[in-house]
Structure 1
Amino acid sequence: MSFTIRITPELRRQFQAETSDHLNIFEKHLTDIEKNPRNPEPVHAAFRAIHTIKGNSDYLGVADVNLMAHALEDLITELRSGNIAPSDNISAILFRGLDLLRDMNSRITDEHYQETDISEITERIRQIIRSENSNIPENIESIISSSVSEISKQEIRVSVEKIDEFITRISELTVAKNTLNFLIEQGAADVGLLRKTASDISRVANTLQTDVIKLRLVRLDMIFDRLPRIIRELCSRNGKKISLNISECDIEVDRKIIEQLTDPLIHLIRNAADHGIESPDERVRHRKPETGVIEISAYQEGRHAVIAVKDDGKGLDTEKIRQAALQRKLFSESALSEMDDNSLTELIFMPGFSTRSEAGTVSGRGVGLDIVKKNITNIGGTVSVCFESGISTCFTIRVPVSMSLTDVLLAEVCGKKFAFPLLSVVKAFIITESDLRTFKKGKVVIRDDTVIPIRCLADLLGMQKQKKSADSDGSLSVIVITYKEKILGVGVDRILKPDSLVIKPLAKSLIGIREFAGSALLGDGSVILVIDPMGIT
């Protein structure tokens, strides 16, 4: 059955935002109830959250939301009174009701709202209250999809004070704009006044830009809040015992980053639970506690957020990786034998790569780390892995805090301009032919007791080099970039200047070109390609 909700769109959006907050609170306390069933406080807090949703849904006039909240409130009431004891079955149906409410809430702003059939779960709740008998399995895919959907649909809330600040800035901008128009109409030759007006416009525009960017920032830990629920379901599927430890995090990142980061992070969690953490019996045999541990930590490093997902499982098996690569004919046996552990672990990010021959119940054959890497790379980030055999594995994700502006260093090659992400630039200098040395059939330069291999960007990109003029001094401008532990001096014709650009993803037809991370528009209207350090090092 579908019908039109008879309230204003603004009230619908307000209800959706408030209900989303209360559902997050409800989920947190359901998790707390599982961890410590004897503590009555989470039960009371969960009751308050679902009671508020039930009350707010009355004026909305949507029966399924109200009835679902009412049924969950009845069940929580039985828990509060002690008539029913917390159990896995009770938790399963409470979480299932939570998922249904999230789905309903995600569609509450639809013009023609489609009701959800909740008769089965409400009947189960009635049975529980009568006989405490229930067994509803959870669907981890629905948990994940609801997490991503809710983040992408969440509204931005702006305080009245912030709106007043915007109005003030716009007023200043209008005054500067009017002054500039007046000067143009009068044909003014007062360069000093023109420069002051241009400076005022630039100052106000930069302030507005900074403030708007801040509006898009959300707390990174909002995607961490769903992870305990996912771990709970994974443990019920694979029979493992896993404790999830999440460090406190107050980092704020761009909402678009959060949306793109959610899937890769959940995939790494699933991989850790399925591939990393051993079964309780196996852990005991290796003199480990029965319960494995997955740790998630995050910190800010300049304009980047760094997230580490670490498990105390068995680590990576480089010999299995080598054999799997050989079996799939990715490299020759001699090439694989020369690879060190770091090079071998990079192979797990190749498309379709897996050391498993049979699919697991949680994460299949382990295929999908290539997608993790691709998604992270698409937002200007990196992912790496390190391990200790038999002890631990740690995946580290590094993503920009904001996708709005990126500091770059502009350079020119063969008459074309390119941008290098400034965070990857170590230094820049000019050398002559006499500074170059030959090492292993390549050119290097020695600076500050460091041997830096030199490659011309024109060669890396397959560009036709221009002939040097007769009066050329034979100098070469070098931009030294770093990626992970690799360092490379990139030769360019000219180093221009630092700049801040809005980086856009490449067009679909160019996505396969690994040397570029995106494109941007310069002040003169021309398009510039942004170099991807990972693609050329």
Structure 2
Amino acid sequence: MNQYLSIFIDEANEHLQSLNENMLRLEQQPEDIDIVQVIFRSAHTLKGMSATMGFEDLASLTHEMENVLDLVRNGKLSMNGNIFDTLFKGLDSLEGMIQDVVNGGTGKADVGELVQRLKAIVSGDSAGSGPASSKSSDLSASLLLDQFQQSVLMQSLESGHSAYYIEVAVREDCVLKAARAYMVFDVLERNGEVVKSHPSVQDIEQEKFDRSFSVYYITRMDEEALKEQISRVSEIESVRLNVIDKSSLAEMARAENEAPAAPNAAQREAAAASTAPAAAQPATSENAAPRSAPAAGSAAPRTIRVDIERLDSLMNLFSEMLIDRVRLEQLASEIRRGDLTETVEHMARVSSDLQNIVLKLRMVPIDSVFNRFPRMVRDLAKSLNKKVDLVISGAETELDRTVIDEIGDPLVHLIRNAVDHGIESIEDRLAAGKPEIGTVHLRAYHSGNHVFIEIEEDGRGIHRDKVLATAVKRGVVTPEAAKALTDDEVNMLIFAAGFSTADKVSDISGRGVGLDVVKAKISSLGGHVSVTSAPGKGTTFSIQLPLTLSIIAAMLVKLGSEKYAFPLSSIVETSTVKRDQIRSLHGTNIVEYRQSVIPVLSLAQLVDSPDYRDAEETETEMLVIRKGDKLAAVLVDEFIGQSEIVLKTLGKYLKNLDLVSGATILGDGQVALIIDPNALIK
């Protein structure tokens, strides 16, 4: 089956993405049976593919999800919060198993608990009430015990001990859940033995549980005394005890023996339905990802999957050809022969068209990054008890694959920050006269040779005084410098390393990491991030990124015998300046430029050029460069002209060169270093 593995992974990921997107749609429109039909078809196809490939845990979990969806689409079951949460947890488990397959694993996982929850929903426990005081509801949770644990309980009952299933819930306003849970376990272990806890003891110690946890417990204490002792622990809201006797244990063992049969039957049914691997079958409406299915009556899109490494090789080969083209153009201009010049010009036009096609092959819609965020925002909002609506626009905007691969993590940080810090709680929003549902806009659009990505929310905004106080306290700025900062400069302080205004540390944010990482990552991509905010109205983060990192338009300049390149996108203007117009102010050289004063840098001095022209010249060439709203002038010896250059990295041995972002090979074989204008202005 290994020959089909890569196709299985691609198609499984497409189905998972479709399942996530349609589940979110269904949560907004729970009565829409058409959406349920689409989800059911995706789950059914994924089950067949998994069973055929031999991934049994994947197939069994998907089969149980399919059973729930089947009842919903036939009108026998209505969706509720518990069913949605269980199905979403199922999708998370499926994603984890597929990721395990991607990493070379077997795709196995402990899905027993989820399978039992789904079976309980099918059998009528759709409210997810879990173990109740009756024996029958107690059994569905009891199935989580393995044979050894059942044996321990049986022997304890025979020796005169009492066995209980205990469910403990802590109060909603409890600050230290793990500490309260520890105190409950301390009471239990003094008076008996815990056979099994759910979640695990390690998870409970790390507060990885909601408000409740449950245990199977053996003791000689009677029910009332035990309940009273646990209830004495402060901040415990409720304690429920279910007595376990021999008959319920026998029923538990019988159910345990029957449980594995269902998944195997499901796998046999799926395997019979798919005599050949789904990956190798032609795309039909059943096994193609629903989100990419063509509209009714239209021709199916003719696409082909290509290995990324082949595209990278194609790009590298084309880069070499581009270098030779520039060299040929240079030689043709020196030889001055008509037919040679004509041929070279034609080749230049063809290679220019080829360049556009090669670049477009590498362009990927940013949708591939954006589509993970609706589910993330939904889960975040739920955990923070907020209501948040994520509005995505411009998802069809295309970016180079190298940029797409890197931009995901910074966007995750910014969106988590927007939901956690930006959007207020429901009570605060209503008190401020806002709708209870907060809105986060995620948009992307092209502008020139750049792509802009914006994250805008209508939350509380950035409070200048709080940011300044934190910045001064952490030593980011001095108290004197803080007074002179503009609002925009204050907003940018949140990108300082270790900066955090969070009142408490959570697993979402507030550890003082995140935004500094965002800024560093975006700068490494040749991009720029800015933030604007209005207190009480919201905040907008704007990211500016280059379309591609492989081939850039540049201005070539000379310093003596050396050549350097500046990205054209950062250059505002080229001109000449007289030496006597350059003045010194507080140790910094400045020059007047369009009714303003900008700093002047000598590139020759910065790179320690060995043979640049003497500074006694009365006039010199000048480049005006921009980073955000900051300008600077760079002095050079001579302009060579504009050229499209292939960006080459300097390799792993030449690191921490802030001034240089890479190198290129020119038509004459010389190497020109590419200057990073961001570092110059910094």
TM-score between both structures, scaled by the size of structure 2: 0.66
Q: Which residue is 2:448 aligned to?
A: 302
Secondary structure of the residue aligned to 1:296 is strand
Q: CA deviation at 1:317?
A: 1.8
1:106–1:436 Cα change, 3 Å: same
Q: CA deviation at 1:316?
A: 1.0
Q: Which residue is 1:388 aligned to?
A: 534
Secondary structure of the residue aligned to 2:444 is strand
Q: CA deviation at 1:190?
A: 10
Secondary structure of the residue aligned to 1:223 is helix
- Asked whether the equivalents of residues 385 and 395 of structure 1 are also in contact (C-alpha less than 8 Å), the reply is yes
Asked if residue 269 in structure 1 is aligned to residue 262 in structure 2, the reply is no
Asked if residue 489 in structure 1 is aligned to residue 662 in structure 2, the reply is no
Asked if residue 516 in structure 1 is aligned to residue 510 in structure 2, the reply is no
Q: Which residue is 1:226 aligned to?
A: 372
Matches within 5 A, 1:13-52: 13-52=6-45
Q: Which residue is 1:500 aligned to?
A: 644
Q: Whole-Å Cα distance in 2 between the matches of residues 514 and 350 of structure 1?
A: 18
Matches within 5 A, 1:80-91: 80-91=73-84
Q: CA deviation at 1:508?
A: 5.5
Q: Whole-Å Cα distance in 2 between the matches of residues 129 and 315 of structure 1?
A: 46
Q: CA deviation at 1:60?
A: 2.5
Q: Whole-Å Cα distance in 1 between the matches of residues 102 and 432 of structure 2?
A: 53
Q: CA deviation at 1:323?
A: 1.7
Q: CA deviation at 1:105?
A: 3.1
Q: Whole-Å Cα distance in 2 between the matches of residues 508 and 278 of structure 1?
A: 45
Answer with 300-309 or 62-71: which moved more. Answer: 62-71
1:105–1:83 Cα change, 3 Å: same
1:114–1:38 Cα change, 3 Å: closer
Answer with 22-31 or 125-134: which moved more. Answer: 125-134
Match of 1:530 among 671, 674, 677: 674
Q: CA deviation at 1:355?
A: 2.3
Size of the alignment, in residue pairs?
A: 490
Q: CA deviation at 1:109?
A: 5.9
Matches within 5 A, 1:132-211: 132-134=126-128, 158=304, 191-199=337-345, 201-211=347-357
Answer with 373-382 or 492-501: which moved more. Answer: 492-501
Secondary structure of the residue aligned to 2:370 is coil
Kindly provide the amino acid, as one letter, of the partner of residue 308 in structure 1: E
Kindly provide the amino acid, as one letter, of the partner of residue 132 in structure 1: S
Q: CA deviation at 1:67?
A: 2.1
Asked if residue 375 in structure 1 is aligned to residue 369 in structure 2, the reply is no
Q: Which residue is 1:463 aligned to?
A: 608
Q: Whole-Å Cα distance in 2 between the matches of residues 330 and 239 of structure 1?
A: 33
CA RMSD of aligned residues (A): 3.3
1:315–1:266 Cα change, 3 Å: same
Secondary structure of the residue aligned to 2:122 is helix
1:431–1:454 Cα change, 3 Å: same
Q: CA deviation at 1:536?
A: 2.0
1:230–1:469 Cα change, 3 Å: closer
Kindly provide the amino acid, as one letter, of the partner of residue 463 in structure 1: D
Q: Whole-Å Cα distance in 1 between the matches of residues 451 and 355 of structure 2?
A: 21
Answer with 304-313 or 40-49: which moved more. Answer: 40-49
Q: Which residue is 1:283 aligned to?
A: 429
Q: Whole-Å Cα distance in 1 between the matches of residues 501 and 543 of structure 2?
A: 22
Q: Name stretches of at least 5 consecutive residues in structure 2 with no aligned partner.
A: 131-197, 200-207, 209-301, 325-334
Answer with 91-100 or 230-239: which moved more. Answer: 91-100
Q: Which residue is 2:257 aligned to?
A: none
CA displacement, residues 320-368 of structure 1 (integer Å, 9 cap, x when unaligned): 2222222122332212222222222222111111223531342133521
Asked if residue 476 in structure 1 is aligned to residue 620 in structure 2, the reply is yes
Q: Whole-Å Cα distance in 1 between the matches of residues 46 and 388 of structure 2?
A: 32
Secondary structure of the residue aligned to 1:387 is strand
Taking every aligned residue pair, what percent have the same amino acid on both sides? 33
1:58–1:442 Cα change, 3 Å: closer
CA displacement, residues 182-215 of structure 1 (integer Å, 9 cap, x when unaligned): xxxxxxx995554455445544444433322212
Matches within 5 A, 1:315-330: 315-330=461-476
Q: Whole-Å Cα distance in 1 between the matches of residues 336 and 488 of structure 2?
A: 62
Q: Whole-Å Cα distance in 1 between the matches of residues 416 and 53 of structure 2?
A: 38
Matches within 5 A, 1:89-100: 89-100=82-93
Q: CA deviation at 1:444?
A: 4.0
Q: Which residue is 2:119 aligned to?
A: 126
Answer with 373-382 or 520-529: which moved more. Answer: 520-529
1:535–1:212 Cα change, 3 Å: same
Q: Whole-Å Cα distance in 2 between the matches of residues 307 and 488 of structure 1?
A: 26
Kindly provide the amino acid, as one letter, of the partner of residue 631 in structure 2: I
- Asked whether the equivalents of residues 305 and 399 of structure 1 are also in contact (C-alpha less than 8 Å), the reply is yes
Q: Whole-Å Cα distance in 2 between the matches of residues 508 and 69 of structure 1?
A: 45
1:467–1:420 Cα change, 3 Å: closer
Kindly provide the amino acid, as one letter, of the partner of residue 360 in structure 2: K
Q: Which residue is 2:490 aligned to?
A: 344
Answer with 291-300 or 434-443: which moved more. Answer: 434-443
Kindly provide the amino acid, as one letter, of the partner of residue 34 in structure 2: E
Answer with 282-291 or 522-531: which moved more. Answer: 522-531
Q: Whole-Å Cα distance in 1 between the matches of residues 103 and 582 of structure 2?
A: 65
Q: CA deviation at 1:480?
A: 0.6
Q: Whole-Å Cα distance in 2 between the matches of residues 104 and 81 of structure 1?
A: 29
Q: CA deviation at 1:125?
A: 0.9
- Asked whether the equivalents of residues 357 and 365 of structure 1 are also in contact (C-alpha less than 8 Å), the reply is no
Larger radius of gyration: 2
- Asked whether the equivalents of residues 660 and 674 of structure 2 are also in contact (C-alpha less than 8 Å), the reply is yes
CA displacement, residues 95-130 of structure 1 (integer Å, 9 cap, x when unaligned): 222223233334546766343332222222111211
1:331–1:449 Cα change, 3 Å: closer
Q: CA deviation at 1:281?
A: 1.3
- Asked whether the equivalents of residues 412 and 495 of structure 1 are also in contact (C-alpha less than 8 Å), the reply is yes
Kindly provide the amino acid, as one letter, of the partner of residue 425 in structure 2: S
Q: Whole-Å Cα distance in 2 between the matches of residues 400 and 468 of structure 1?
A: 34
Q: CA deviation at 1:481?
A: 0.8
Kindly provide the amino acid, as one letter, of the partner of residue 29 in structure 1: N
- Asked whether the equivalents of residues 623 and 634 of structure 2 are also in contact (C-alpha less than 8 Å), the reply is yes
1:17–1:157 Cα change, 3 Å: farther
Q: Whole-Å Cα distance in 2 between the matches of residues 520 and 90 of structure 1?
A: 57
Answer with 91-100 or 499-508: which moved more. Answer: 499-508
Secondary structure of the residue aligned to 1:64 is helix
Q: Whole-Å Cα distance in 1 between the matches of residues 480 and 597 of structure 2?
A: 27
Q: Whole-Å Cα distance in 2 between the matches of residues 66 and 159 of structure 1?
A: 25
Q: Whole-Å Cα distance in 2 between the matches of residues 190 and 462 of structure 1?
A: 36
CA displacement, residues 170-189 of structure 1 (integer Å, 9 cap, x when unaligned): 9xx99xx9xxxxxxxxxxx9
Q: Whole-Å Cα distance in 1 between the matches of residues 22 and 555 of structure 2?
A: 48
TM-score between both structures, scaled by the size of structure 1: 0.82
Q: Whole-Å Cα distance in 2 between the matches of residues 28 and 383 of structure 1?
A: 29
Secondary structure of the residue aligned to 2:358 is helix
Q: Whole-Å Cα distance in 2 between the matches of residues 73 and 110 of structure 1?
A: 26
- Asked whether the equivalents of residues 480 and 489 of structure 1 are also in contact (C-alpha less than 8 Å), the reply is yes
Q: CA deviation at 1:530?
A: 2.5
Kindly provide the amino acid, as one letter, of the partner of residue 118 in structure 1: V
